[in-house]
Amino acid sequence: MILISGVEAPDLAKLAARMIKSGFVIHREFESCFEMGNGAEVMALLVDMALEDDELRDWWQRGEYYIGDFEQIKARVLARNESLSPDSVSAQLQLI
């Protein structure tokens, strides 16, 4: 079992990508890549990686039943990024 703690999102995304490419997605270790409080960032980085890496994208499509539909996740990541535009972030900070 891989124990993950205190790891940054880019490292978790790389680990998740390696697991996807090896078909290791139906395991607790894969899920833990997204449970460190930065799961949205990890998923966004993973989507970016899959857009540039055909092999990762192919393996993702093979495991979509467990990982989720790539196009739907990509759309969610894009929508989230749009909602976090600099204007909305600064507006949220002013509320604090």
Grade residue 78 by pLDDT with cuts at 50, 70 and 90: confident
Grade residue 6 by pLDDT with cuts at 50, 70 and 90: low
| Domain boundaries along the sequence of the chain | 9-95
Q: What backbone phi and psi angles, to 5 degrees, belong to 81?
A: -65, -40
**Is pLDDT larger for residue 31 or for residue 6?**
31
Give me 33's structure tokens. 């890549």
- 14-31 confidence digits (pLDDT tens): 999 999 999 999 889 999
Q: Angle at CA 5, nearest 5°, toward 3 and 76?
A: 100
**Beta carbons of 51 and 90 less than 8 angstroms apart:** no
pLDDT, position 82: 80
Task: Report the candidate in 31, 26, 27 with the shortest Cα–Cα distance to residue 4.
Answer: 31
- 34-61 confidence digits (pLDDT tens): 988 889 999 999 999 999 999 999 999 9
Task: Report the candidate in 63, 42, 60 with the shortest Cα–Cα distance to residue 50.
Answer: 60
Model confidence, pTM: 0.75
**Is pLDDT larger for residue 93 or for residue 4?**
4
Residues of the chain with pLDDT > 70, as a percent, come to 80
Give me 91's structure tokens. 């507006």
Integer Cα distance of 20 and 24 in angstroms? 6
Integer Cα distance of 55 and 27 in angstroms? 21
